[in-house]
Structure 1
Amino acid sequence: MASEQNYNTASEQSPSLASDKQTLSVAALTALVVGSMVGAGIFTIPSAFGRATGVLGGLIAWVIAGVGMLMLAFVFQNLAQRKPDLDSGIFAYAKTGFGNYIGFLAALAFWASTCVGNTSYFVLIKSTLGEFFPVFGDGNTVTAVFFASIILWIFHFMILRGVKQATGLNTIVTIAKIVPIVIFIFVLLFAFKPDIFAANFWGGQGYDAESLFSQVRNTMLVTVFVFIGIEGASVYSRYAEKRSDVGVATVLGFVGVLCLLILVTVLPYGILPRAELGVLRNPSMAGLFESVVGRWGNIFISLGLLVSVLGAFLAWTLFASEVPFMAAKSNLMPSFLARENSNGVPSASLWMTNITVQAFLIATLFSQQAFILALELTSSLALIPYLLVAAFALKLAWSGETYDRDSRNRTKELVIAAIATAYSILMIYAGGLEKLLLSGLILAPGTILFFMARREQNRKVFTFGEWFLFSLATIAALSALFALSTGRITI
């Protein structure tokens, strides 16, 4: 056991040598956080909140979501300082705190969610273009898939030229997609009607019988996935100029995005009655802007959406290729995924990622239902690493590890980690427990990668506890298949 521990530690530390070749500034790391968090969701928030709640319920929901995710941002910040030797923290923390197989499951869950998430970006791009160019239809025509495939492989070969160049482009794209959102906010500030806002405050006309608790609960389901991407700087921690930059970038990115989200949510209540907000066609931000400035506003926001989604796709492709690479370096995935090209890009992992995305794109031609199922269950998968990261921070603070010379902050960081852990559990619950059951459909068969890695290293595949976890994942997968076939779980 000791030799395995030393072997793993050496492997985990070796990727840091990559920082000699390429480093990322605080601005670039912050742009990765913002670029991954600001995707399609912010452009659909006005109608999503309009259907769920009035002004007060929305504000309460943002307070709950904001506090929970801020605590998670602080967790990433604290762990970057307390465990500076752990790169690609989204799964490395899970491995260090809870063992090899749980670390692998965190990496697999994150990677799978990014692959299907990237496919959903393309579906949204194609459907948005379909409003102006009928040949794209609803995003599921051959022309639409062909067009999306071209974009996919253009980004693929651009990333192969170097991570620093790709993140540099991501910074530019992030700025470009924030501009239309800021213009939208300023225009709505001048068009704001206090009487309409007041009418929407408690729920709006026709929603008077709806309780505030019900409004907040419904809105929490909307906020669950908006903050996914907060781990952006942590995923690329091995490129940071200083370890402290990871935490700074995470908090800066989070605070900036939270401010945008609150403004984009609240200001529309001063433009249209809630009933009209709730029926706006997505991207609802475009329809709302059109109601204020005319048809050009719809086109302007639609262009902003395309830039935003392409930027989010770039950021998530970078993340998706980085995680299997670092997992292979940590002996959690097969060694072929640790290959780099001459530019220091994890090429094998990138190829595996984009081939998977291409397969999902083709699948949208034949089975939209299968795609929707995959999208829903991988959304819940993305929350699993968050819970494990928060739980690891809670474990450190509870045990006192790393606090020998800094005991003053232990109680504060224990509270932060406890809140982040509780909120992560809440997010998984709000996302749907049945989706957690369906996650076994990916985690159980995906374990073959872990099996391959352990056999390569001539090591025992599972400990007793890990056999138990694998059995649970297998039972979940079989139960999900049975429930789907009998109609007990529907999509």
Structure 2
Amino acid sequence: MAIKQLARKKDGLGLWSLTGLVVGSMIGAGIFNLVQGTAEAAGPLATIIAWLITGVGMIFLILSFRNLTIKKPKLNAGVYSYAEAGFGKYVGFNSAWGYWISAWIGNIAYAVAVFSALGYFFPDLFGKGQNWASVVGMSVLLWSVHLLILKGVKTASFINALVTAAKLIPLAIFLLAIFLSFKVGLFNQDLWGLAGNNFDMGAVIEQVKNMMLVTVWVFIGIEGAVVFSGHAKKRSDIIKATLIGFAGVLSIYVLMTVLAFGVATQKDLAALDSPAMSMLLERLVGPWGAWLVNIGLMIAVLGGWLAWTMFAAELPYQAAKNKTFPSIFAKENKVGAPVVSLLVTNILVQIFLLTIPGTEGSAYNIGISIATSAILIPYALTAFYQLKVSLQEKKTVKYRAFNIFVGVMASVYAVWLVYAAGMQYLLITVFLYAPGMLVYVLMQIKNRKKIFTLYELLLAVVVIALFAYAVQQLLAGALDDTLGIKIADLIGQ
């Protein structure tokens, strides 16, 4: 976004402003349902293993961002610019497209989270946040956020302090409550999350895999400082902000998910209604705990919604300026807000909101899983580019070997994430990426550029083949459980 009100080039964002963006984008709706999502996926020890893998993997991604901001300072549009510089125009377009998709689908999850919290106060009206009354409310909020951003980011920036307090106060009380209520015997009751508390390597690995989409979702945002890197006062602040934000948020996530197994069984935690934190705190301290968490959640999620709408608008805007996205996305209003990028983004969100009442299961969990799957490709391409840049450096360059190691480890982690997500989410991701090919082709024709190089053409053929297979699986009903919608019933209607 042309964030002229937030960070004019002459002063820019300082360390703590960048840190606030990173923390603000990471701690959102996800943390309020993290206990339930964790217990649904894994037992206590598998949870610890999953956080260890995620923590190490994310550190290598952070170091990759650090190295690239130093070695490639002109690539200040962030994530997509690395993919384009390393692997060509079409790959760069897909990185931008995937990042954008992840952001606006994540906003759908935010919307469900808000109205699941409101459902606690008004159960007859909003239920669990997935009925038509909720969709009407979501739509009103969606376009209210839209208008707020159109007025300029400075108009919205005062909300940050309130949002931060709304997140941290309930979190602090929740952590204190589960710490004081923690029972060692209950925690040890089912360490591996398996019948009889028996160890089974295959089952534990499966639990760890199931945790990956959960853990990555709550860390989406580590690239936040990089997305706004062109507006940083000092480039050295970018990595500092990311590391500070990451370390603090990781500590909170590990404590709350692991300690929760000492106050309730895995089965009980997995069965908690959304928002899980409020339901569990109500059991521990009474109704006031649920009130506190639900109010905090609504404020925090609205802040996260605002932040991710800003992120969603920033990347198409920057990509359009670089002719990676259609030029119309670069259009601004008088205060510098990207009007077309915002409008298209929120129209897509609105369309998907209308599908929520027909969703079986948790629309929130489905939303975060799809949003996470969509962003895995941009993350992977960043890791691959970090490796490529390091390998191409002269052997005399300082820290070359270390940077190669970072690139290898970040790439391994990225590939592991795609594998852990599974084939069904890969196919759903293909559904979301494939339409972008048409946009890309039309844009290249308009700009009188060569559409594909040879290897890009081969890549496009692979995408088309996967898309055809995904359509076949969709029509066969193989993706019904993942999407939460019975396709055969929709076709029958």
Matches within 5 A, 1:179-328: 179-200=169-190, 202-203=191-192, 206-211=195-200, 214-222=203-211, 223-328=215-320
CA distance in 2, matches of 1:196, 1:365: 37
> For residues 153-168 of structure 1, what are the structure 2 equivalents within 5 Å?
153-168=143-158
Distance 2:274 2:139 in 1: 23
Partner of 1:398: 391
2:431 to 441, 449, 469: 441
Q: Which moved more, 1:56-65 or 1:383-392?
A: 56-65
SS of residue paired to 1:58: helix
- The one-letter code of the counterpart of 2:228 is Y
CA shift, 1:294, in A, is 1.2
What SS does the corresponding residue of 2:347 show, helix, strand or coil? helix
Per-residue displacement from partner, 1:99-141 (whole Å, max 9, x unpaired)?
Answer: 0000000000111121111112112222232232111133343
Q: Which residue of 1 aligns with 2:422?
A: 432
Give the secondary-structure state (helix, strand or coil) at the position aligned to 2:75.
Answer: coil
Query: In the alignment, does 2:475 pair up with 1:482?
Result: no
Aligned: 1:24 with 2:13:
yes
Q: Which residue of 2 aligns with 1:359?
A: 351
AA partner of residue 385 (structure 2): F
1:178 to 168, 176, 179: 168
SS of the residue corresponding to residue 222 of structure 2 reads coil
Q: 1:379 aligns with which of 372, 377, 395?
A: 372
- Superposition pairs of residues 321-336 of structure 1, within 5 angstroms: 321-336=313-328
CA contact (8 A) 1:46 1:277 kept: yes
| Contact persistence 1:74–1:251 (CA under 8 A) | no
- Letter of the 1:274 partner, please give it: Q
Q: Distance in 2 between matches of 1:32 and 1:265?
A: 24
Do the aligned partners of residues 363 and 271 (structure 1) sit closer, same or farther apart at CA in structure 2, a change above 3 Å counting?
A: closer
Partner of 2:484 in structure 1? Answer: none
Percent identity between the aligned chains? 38
Secondary structure in 2 aligned to 1:382?
helix
2:448 maps to what in 1? 458
**How many residues align structurally?**
471
Q: 1:39 and 2:32 equivalent?
A: no
3-state SS, counterpart of residue 408 of structure 1 = coil
Contact 2:49 2:208 in 1 (8 A): no
The Cα offsets for residues 77-102 of structure 1, whole Å up to 9 and x where unpaired, read as 22111111111211000000000000
- CA gap of 1:169–1:216, structure 2 versus 1, over 3 A, is farther
In the TM superposition, what is the alpha-carbon distance from 1:320 to its structure 2 partner? 0.4
Amino acid at match of 1:182: A
Shift of 1:366: 5.4
Distance 2:40 2:371 in 1: 24
AA partner of residue 352 (structure 2): F
Match of 1:72 among 35, 51, 61: 61
Task: Tell me if structure 2 keeps the 8 A contact 1:53–1:218.
Answer: yes
Aligned CA distance change for structure 1 residues 368 and 337 (closer, same or farther; 3 Å): farther
Which residue identity is paired with 2:133?
Answer: T
After superposition, give the CA deviation of every residue in 1:372-426 in whole Å (9 maximum; x if it has no partner): 877654431111100000100010111117x86xx22111111112111111111
Partners of 1:76 and 1:250 within 8 A in 2: no
1:326 shift after superposition: 0.8
Tell me how far 1:356 sits from its aligned partner: 1.4
Q: 40-49 or 347-356, which moves further after superposition?
A: 40-49
Q: Distance in 2 between matches of 1:146 and 1:53?
A: 35
Alignment of 1:150 with 2:137, yes or no, is: no
The one-letter amino acid of 1:336's match is: I
* Distance (Å, rounded) in 2 between the aligned partners of 1:483 and 1:204: 31
Return the offset for 1:160.
Answer: 1.5
Contact 1:438 1:477 in 2 (8 A): no
Post-superposition offset of 1:280: 2.6
Using the alignment, how far apart are the partners of 2:64 and 2:52 within structure 1?
A: 18
**Change in 2 beyond 3 A, CA 1:129/1:386:** same
Residues 116, 274 of structure 2: 8 Å contact kept: no
Task: Kindly indicate whether the alpha-carbon contact (under 8 Å) linking 1:57 and 1:212 is maintained by their aligned counterparts in 2.
Answer: no
| TM-score of the aligned structures, taking structure 2 as reference length | 0.89
**Alpha carbons 1:94, 1:392 under 8 Å: kept:** yes
* SS of structure 2 residue aligned to 1:439: helix
Q: C-alpha distance in 1, partners of 2:155/2:238?
A: 19
Whole-angstrom CA distance in 1 between matches of 2:203 and 2:223: 30
In structure 2, distance between residues paired with 1:341 and 1:190 = 52
Do the aligned partners of 2:77 and 2:315 also contact (CA within 8 Å) in 1? Answer: yes
The 1:215/1:224 distance shift into structure 2, 3 A limit, reads farther
Per-residue CA deviation, residues 6-37 of structure 1 (Å, 9 max, x unaligned), is: xxxxxxxxx9xx84277222222212211222
Distance 1:181 1:355, change over 3 A: same
| 2:410 counterpart (420, 424, 449) | 420
CA contact (8 A) 2:332 2:338 kept: yes
Match of 1:388 in 2: 381
In structure 2, distance between residues paired with 1:483 and 1:326:
35
Structure 1 residues without counterparts, runs of 5 or longer: 1-14
- SS of the aligned residue for 2:449 comes to coil
Q: Measure how far apart 1:367 and its partner are.
A: 6.1
Task: Tell me the amino acid that sits aligned with residue 270 of structure 1.
Answer: G
Q: Sort the Cα spacing of 1:469 and 1:204 in 2 relative to 1 into closer, same or farther, 3 A.
A: closer
Q: Retained in 1: the 8 A contact 2:216–2:372? A: no
Residue 5 (structure 1) aligns with: none
